[in-house]
Amino acid sequence: MMRKLSLLLLGAMLGAGTVTLATQSRLLSTTSAVAAASDTYRQLNLFGDVFEKIRSDYVEKPDEGKLIESAINGMLSGLDPHSSYLDSKSFRDMQVQTRGEFGGLGIEVTMEEGLIKVVTPIDDTPASRAGVMAGDVITHIDDEPVQGLTLNQAVEKMRGAVNSSVRLKIARKGASDGLELKLTRDVIRIRSVRSRNETDVGYIRITQFNEQTFEGLKNSIDSLTKDIGGDKLKGFVIDLRNNPGGLLDQAIAVSDAFLERGEIVSTRGRNADETQRYNARAGDLTKGKPVVVLINGGSASASEIVAGALQDHKRATIIGSRSFGKGSVQTIIPLGSNGAIRLTTARYYTPSGRSIQAKGIDPEIQVLNEVPAELKGKDETKGEAALKGHLKNGEDEQGGSSAYVPPDPKNDKQLNYALDLLRGVKVNDASSAAKQPDKTKQN
């Protein structure tokens, strides 16, 4: 009996000791959190002191709003190269870019000798209907001289509310008198997808991933399949070279266009419960036709999601040079009338679990274009691994690779290799493209 009582007392004492230790642990944790918070507030007080000193003692009266913006930007850019603050105007511009449509005239322009030169009018837009031509030089916008404006300022003046009007003065080569045109703004859709018929191969170029991208891809596949004919069509070349990325959901939709099942990409944040996996749904828009994807050092982010998914599922052969290596996800967090912050919230991984961050996608077939002598040394992108403050991978990080694409398709070795592969002129044993039954060389 005494022994039993002794054991009970011992158990009670141990239990009491455990409670005491747990309580001490909580107290230590609370004390540590309070100390950390106190240190943070001291740092915030330091920021306030510096801000007041600048306001009162700087040689010129500073713009206080810009001081705060610069401080926020410094805080975000100190995290990684892709986190940043967007003021209200930058936020609107970003929304235009990702939405892929805006009120405007429908012309692609560039700056030349201080004036705005038309690269090309977009089909079926106010500019093309009014007769604006490639090579035209815009000298005035609403009677204001363009000379002295930046390209962005001039573009901003030409954009505006749908159904509003704008006057352009244009100098045209061969025309003695300048032209004056009055145009009414309309909804302009940014073409992120362009395609062409390569006789027996469908070529599709995706320049960015905005809200119009999947629809543009679907229309291109349907149109090329109809034009070439299902029996004659050898396959598709998807050109993602120098595509900097864009919307995650569009990268998933583009990947899904070629896959019947399986994971496309996963995103993993700080906490395990934040992991999200995105899977393909049944339905291959090409009906199993061989696919070749072209990438280079300028292919980043959403482009790498597509290339990585199709590579892991062995659905496409990847040709070109190693991609940029941006394997992080940015979330846009609106701040009401004060713009927004772009914050890195996760890393993304290919279906096989590869992190692309600071590493990139390596093509199965490396093909480099010949770079003109004047561009040698300037054609290579340094890649994510060269960016100051980039997120570390934990694996071997890789430098950049060539991003040069010849303007003339005849000189484009990467494209011509892809066409030869699909036609059976060249064979890659590991590729689905090599399984084409027709091995006849075509000129």
Q: Which of 83, 255, 299, 301 is catalytic?
A: 301
Strand partners for 107 = 121
Q: What CA–CA distance (Å, rounded) separates 424 from 442?
A: 9
Q: Is 143 a known active-site residue? A: no
Q: What CA–CA distance (Å, rounded) separates 132 from 241?
A: 30
Strand partners for 108 = 120
DSSP per position, 107-132:
EEEEEETTEEEEEEEPTTSHHHHHT-
Q: Is 301 a known active-site residue? A: yes
Q: Is 231 a known active-site residue? A: no
Q: What CA–CA distance (Å, rounded) separates 11 from 411?
A: 84
* CA nearest to 280, candidates 311, 303, 247, 253: 253
Strand partners for 111 = 116
* CA nearest to 87, candidates 306, 337, 329, 277: 337
Q: Which of 169, 234, 326, 359 is catalytic?
A: 326
Q: Which of 312, 359, 401, 431 is catalytic?
A: 312
* CA nearest to 133, candidates 118, 123, 151: 118
Q: What CA–CA distance (Å, rounded) separates 322 from 316?
A: 16
**What's the N-to-C CA distance of the chain in angstroms?**
102
For residue 386 the two structure tokens come to 């060269």
Coil, helix or strand for 415? Answer: helix
| 102 contacts 117 by C-beta, under 8 angstroms | no
- Enumerate the active-site residues: 301, 312, 326
